[in-house]
Structure 1
Amino acid sequence: MARVSQAHLDARRRQILDGARRCFTRNGFHATSMQDVFKETGLSSGAVYRYFRGKNELIRAVAEEAFDRMRLAFESAGREAPLRPLDEVIDGVLTRALEEQARRAGTDRPGAFAELILQVWSETLRDESLAATLHALYDRMRVMWVVVVRTYQDAGHLRADVPADHVVRVLMALIQGFIVQRAVFKDVGGELSSGLRALLSPEADPHYRG
C-alpha cells in the first residue's frame, strides 16, 4: 500500500480547518453541525474524524490558529519599533489581521472575523481546555509586547514611570474592546487609530516629564 505523504496529510487537515472556519463564521459554533463540515469540505465523516474527534476539537484548532496568526502579525510589526508610531503599528496590524482572516473564512466582511473571535471568547466560559489554550497564547503575546513597549519607553515615546506590563495589559484590553465593537456594532473603523494616538501621546499628559 502506498504511503500517504506528509504534504497530503497537511493539505487535508488544511481543507478541513478552512471548511470548518467558513461554517463557523457563517452560522456560529452552536448552529454548525459536523454534517455541515462534511458538506462544506466535500469529505466523508471518516476522513474528517481521522483528524478531529469532534466539533470541540475543530473549534479549538480554528481558534488556536487564528489567535496565533494574530500574535505573529503583531510580533512582526513589533520589529519596527520604535520607527513607527505605536498607534499606527497596532491599528495597521489589527486591521490587516481582521481582513486576512475574513478572506480565509470566505467573506469580504472584516467584521466577520471579529464575530468569530467573540464566539471563541464565549466558548472559553464552558470549555476549560480552550480557555487554557487561549490563556497560553495571550501570555506569549503579552510577553512579546512588553519588550515592544519598553522599546518605545526607552525612545521617549511612552511614559517610562509606568511598568511596561501595565501598559500592555491596557493596550490589549483596548484591542479586545475594539474587536467586540467590530463584532457587535459593525460600523467601527478608523476611530481606533486616532483614539490610540491621543491616548499614547506623552504630551497629552500635563504631568508628563519627557
Structure 2
Amino acid sequence: MARVSQEHLDARRRQILDGAARCFARDGFHAASMQDVLKEVGLSAGAVYRYFSGKEDLIDAIAREAVGGVREAFERAARSSPPPTPDVLIGRVARTLFGGEADGRGGLDRRAYAGLIVQVWSETLRSERLAATLGEAYEGLRVSWAELVGVYRASGMLAADVPDEHIARTLIATAQGFIVQLAMFGDAGPEVLENGLRGLMSMDQQKVS
C-alpha cells in the first residue's frame, strides 16, 4: 500500500475543519450533529474519525485555530520597530482576520467567522476542556500584549501611571468587543475600530481635566 504523504494528510484535515466550521457557523455547535458535519465535508465517518474523535474534538481544534489566528496576527503586526500605536496595531489585526468578505476558515465571510469565534467563547462556560484551551491561549496573549505596553512605556509613548497588564486587558477587550459587534450586527469593519481608537487617543487631557 502506498504511503499517504503528509501534505495529503494536512489537506484532508484542513478539509474537515473547514467543513465543520461552515456547519457550526450555520447551525450552531449544539444543533449541528456529526452527521451534519459528515454531509458538509463530503467524507465517510471513518475518514473523519481518523483525524477527530468527535464533535468536541472538532470544536476544540476550531477554537485553537481561532485564538491562534488572533495571536499570530497580533505578533506579526507588533514586530515592526518602533511598534505601531494601538489604533494601528489593532486595526492591522482586525484587517488580517476580517479584512475581506471571504476571510476566515472554510470560506466564511467575516460576519460568519466572527460569529463562530463568539460561539467558541460561549462554549467555555459549559466545557472545561474548551475553557482550559482558551484560558491557556488568553494567558499567552495577555502576556504578549503586556510586554508590548512595556515597550510603549520604555519608548516614552505612554505616560500614564497605569499597570501594563490593565492596559493590555483593555486592548484585548476592545478587540473582543469589535468581534462581538461584527458577529451581531455585521456593520463594523476594521476601519471603524481603527478610526474610533485614533479618535479617543486624540483627546486633549488638559481640556478634559
TM-score past 0.5 threshold: yes
TM-align CA RMSD:
2.1
Provide, for residues 38-71 of structure 1, a one-character-per-residue CA deviation record: whole Å limited to 9, x for no partner: 1222210011011111111101101111110110
What is the CA–CA distance in structure 2 between the aligned matches of 1:70 and 1:117, rounded to whole Å? 10
What is the CA–CA distance in structure 2 between the aligned matches of 1:204 and 1:153, rounded to whole Å? 19
Q: Structure 2: which amino acid aligns with 1:106?
A: G
**TM-score, normalization: structure 2?**
0.89
CA deviation after TM superposition for structure 1 residue 130, in Å: 0.3
Q: Structure 1: which amino acid aligns with 2:194?
A: S
TM-aligned CA distance change 1:170 to 1:81, over 3 Å: farther
- Equivalent in the alignment of 2:33: 33
CA deviation after TM superposition for structure 1 residue 81, in Å: 4.7
Q: Which runs of 4+ in 1 moved over 4 A?
A: none
**TM-score, normalization: structure 1?**
0.88
- Equivalent in the alignment of 2:149: 149
CA deviation after TM superposition for structure 1 residue 144, in Å: 1.1
Q: Structure 1: which amino acid aligns with 2:107?
A: G
Provide, for residues 133-181 of structure 1, a one-character-per-residue CA deviation record: whole Å limited to 9, x for no partner: 0011111111111121111222222235212111001111111111111
- Equivalent in the alignment of 1:66: 66
| Farther-moved stretch of structure 1 (117-126 vs 141-150) | 141-150
TM-aligned CA distance change 1:138 to 1:103, over 3 Å: closer
- Contact residue 105 and residue 113 of structure 2 kept, 8 A: no
SS in 1 for 2:206: coil
Provide, for residues 8-28 of structure 1, a one-character-per-residue CA deviation record: whole Å limited to 9, x for no partner: 222221111111111122222
- Contact residue 25 and residue 116 of structure 1 kept, 8 A: yes
- Contact residue 17 and residue 106 of structure 2 kept, 8 A: no
- Equivalent in the alignment of 2:14: 14
Gaps of 5+ in 1: none
What is the CA–CA distance in structure 2 between the aligned matches of 1:163 and 1:147, rounded to whole Å? 11
